[in-house]
Structure 1
Amino acid sequence: MKKVGVWGASGYTGQELLLLLRQHPLFKVMLAVSDSLAGEVVEGYSELTYCTQADAHFEGLDLVFLCTPHGASAQLAAEAVAVGAKVVDLSADLRLKTPECYQQWYQHTHPAPHLLPAPYGLVELYPEQLTNADYIANPGCYPTSILLPLLPLAMNGVLQEQMPIIVDAKSGVSGAGHTPKRETHFVEVFGDLKPYNIGRVHRHVGEIEQELETAMPNVGPLVFSPHLLPIDRGLLSTIYVHLSKPITVAREILESTYEHEPFVQVLPDGMLARIKHVARTNKALISLSSATSDVAVLVCAIDNLRKGAASQAIQNANLMFNIPHTTGLTEAMAHGIADSY
């Protein structure tokens, strides 16, 4: 059994990780770190209590999940790696390839630039880079929902060069994090649909364009408009792209890319991805529709706390130890974990 620690365990992502890790056959949670819950018993772990960060140590752990804020995670990752623990960082600290890009989007100096560039944890698309890695940047929820459908098309030259890619994305309130904020209170959210940081302002633009430009240097600019949905969880991205080849070619590429991937499903022609069908699962659903002769509409639905965070983190951790990326997650679904809330 690999000994595991979860930092930032009281947040939505940390709680989701603890829930999923209960069913993992090879990972055993030894530490759940949370200053706010210190001393309380971890639900589902009768012999484990939360501890403060001051009392938590990386020594003796095989694997660390960091569900800590950007700006704090990178230094923790450096300390964990230095004592031989593998790290999956669920913050943004390791996602951008250079300290300069990080400073551009996050407005402060990178805390551990020697860790960059880190392997970027899109499991179904970059498995070779992730297998046996010492540390991995877990992708953001919005980038996951956008890059899963777009990257195979960019890699195969199916997108028109220099044409804007327009993304209209909507996320449940849990995507805003566990810390109470006025704009996420029930009375502020209920009965509304709120756009925020639209255009090219959201920090995830840098992360998404970085991966697209690696696959296709002449890819067009991203126009990204996220919205806050009045639901607890789930994320849906609607993506408008100009194709350089027939839509049938685009569909063939997506279907062949994910044909053997149990957690990513390309829907048949005529069906559309919906949040309802992915909430509380580890899956991503992708649909592809024709708008005009050269414009296609991609829709990708994921659970922002699962495929957009915790379950993808476990997939990455599995590859770090060179075991099938589905380990512990198929078991979680079989045991009804998805219905435990």
Structure 2
Amino acid sequence: MGDSNKIPVGVVGASGYGGVQLVRLLLDHPLLELVYIGGNSTAGKLFGDIYPHLGHRVPLVVEPVDLEVIGDRCQIVFLSLPNGLAFQMAPRLLEKGCKVLDLSADYRFSDLPTYERWYGQERADQAIASTAVYGLPELYRDRIAEAQLVGCPGCYPTASLLAIAPLLKQGLIIPETAIIDAKSGTSGGGRQPPKTNMLLAEADSSFGAYGVGGRHRHTPEIEQVCSDLAGHEVLVQFTPHLVPMVRGILATVYATMRDPGLVRDDLLTIYNAFYRTSTSPWVRVLPSGTYPQTKWACGTNLCYIGIEVDPRTGRVIVMSAIDNLLKGQAGQAIQCLNLMMGWDETLGLPQLAFYP
């Protein structure tokens, strides 16, 4: 049916923003072949009719979601679906021998009651869910390499956790003082017909917070990993904001240091050791006095981190910039797959932004 040397891959939910990023990245991956695109609302349409700019490269028709067909045709399946659908599909695909990467929230939580409380869905797949690995390679690389099922992180948690992880892991901050102030472009809201606040007339030339006071669904996901890193339960103050741009997230983390004598260069040494190029090829710790901008990460799988210390307040300030659709979604999913397959985790992923 195609290139017999390549691994056959399917994407369920390819018509959304996350899905179309996956399709583009899979086309560039030297060891993978896209053989199935599934979606119930767009079934029967030529993918090139939905996204004409890919029509010359993707001759596939969107097929109805049939788990038996997917399992027979694909060795790897990406589920790029709204929350609450993947957990109905993953068990059967795993039974059929597929590796499954879920881009929704369904398999991000080690504690299913937490998922049920925040996402309002009852679950009966505890056995399967307990085998899922949280897909943040910089923290869980070895576990991802052994996994059959990966729950890929949200975009805000990816930017936030990469910024704060070394501080918690090394015990450098008082965890309860951590504040995450994050901003995202509008593509983070997905491709459904726009909510009013996403209309150009509403979002352009404006800037506002939402999900304030621990109400955003990414809060428990961030807290789960922070607690794991700190070795005890941690609550985090997380406030997201909508920025009138298409792509990108900038997360700024503030926290009180245990040792107020630490200076910026101390922190840079710690971060460079934590994110060594050999083991964290997608994280760039910026030189002293340089702070990240979202445009640098746009179109890449990179995360740029800048660090500052305020000796007056005894706080550390860490800034993290990613492309929310790549390192925050589809690119990270491919990075995880590369690890699951025993390949170089940079394989097939873009490393240079189009600038400006």
Deviation at 1:220? 4.7
The answer for the alignment partner of 1:48 in structure 2 is: 60
The number of equivalent residue pairs is 333
The answer for the alignment partner of 1:192 in structure 2 is: 206
C-alpha change, 1:213 and 1:220, in structure 2 (3 Å) is: closer
The answer for the alignment partner of 2:37 in structure 1 is: 32
SS of the residue corresponding to residue 304 of structure 2 reads strand
The answer for the alignment partner of 1:288 in structure 2 is: 307
Please state if 1:84 is matched with 2:97: yes
**Equivalents in 2 of 1:191, 1:29: separation in Å?**
39
Deviations 1:305-324 (A, max 9, x none): 00000110000011111111
- Whether the 8 Å contact between 1:71 and 1:111 is mirrored in structure 2 is no
C-alpha change, 1:64 and 1:111, in structure 2 (3 Å) is: farther
C-alpha change, 1:46 and 1:221, in structure 2 (3 Å) is: closer
Q: Where does structure 2 lack aligned partners over 5 or more consecutive residues?
A: 1-5, 49-53
What's the TM-score, normalizing by structure 1? 0.93
Matches within 5 A, 1:69-218: 69-110=82-123, 112-117=125-130, 118-161=132-175, 163-180=176-193, 181-218=195-232
SS of the residue corresponding to residue 271 of structure 2 reads helix
Q: Which amino acid aligns with 1:317?
A: L
Q: Which amino acid aligns with 1:174?
A: S
**Equivalents in 1 of 2:310, 2:320: separation in Å?**
16
Deviations 1:202-231 (A, max 9, x none): 111111111111111346521111011111
Q: 2:325 aligns with which of 305, 308, 312?
A: 305
SS of the residue corresponding to residue 286 of structure 1 reads strand
Deviations 1:98-117 (A, max 9, x none): 11111122122125322223
Deviations 1:254-301 (A, max 9, x none): 111222133110111101111111111111000011123520111000
**Equivalents in 1 of 2:232, 2:124: separation in Å?**
31
- Whether the 8 Å contact between 2:35 and 2:73 is mirrored in structure 1 is no
SS of the residue corresponding to residue 288 of structure 1 reads strand
- Whether the 8 Å contact between 2:203 and 2:244 is mirrored in structure 1 is yes
SS of the residue corresponding to residue 22 of structure 2 reads helix
**Equivalents in 2 of 1:131, 1:137: separation in Å?**
13
The answer for the alignment partner of 2:297 in structure 1 is: 278
What's the TM-score, normalizing by structure 2? 0.89
Q: Where does structure 1 lack aligned partners over 5 or more consecutive residues?
A: none
Matches within 5 A, 1:232-251: 232-245=246-259, 246-247=262-263, 248-251=265-268
**Equivalents in 1 of 2:71, 2:39: separation in Å?**
15
SS of the residue corresponding to residue 300 of structure 1 reads strand
Deviation at 1:54? 4.6
Deviation at 1:182? 1.9
Please state if 1:252 is matched with 2:252: no
The answer for the alignment partner of 1:224 in structure 2 is: 238
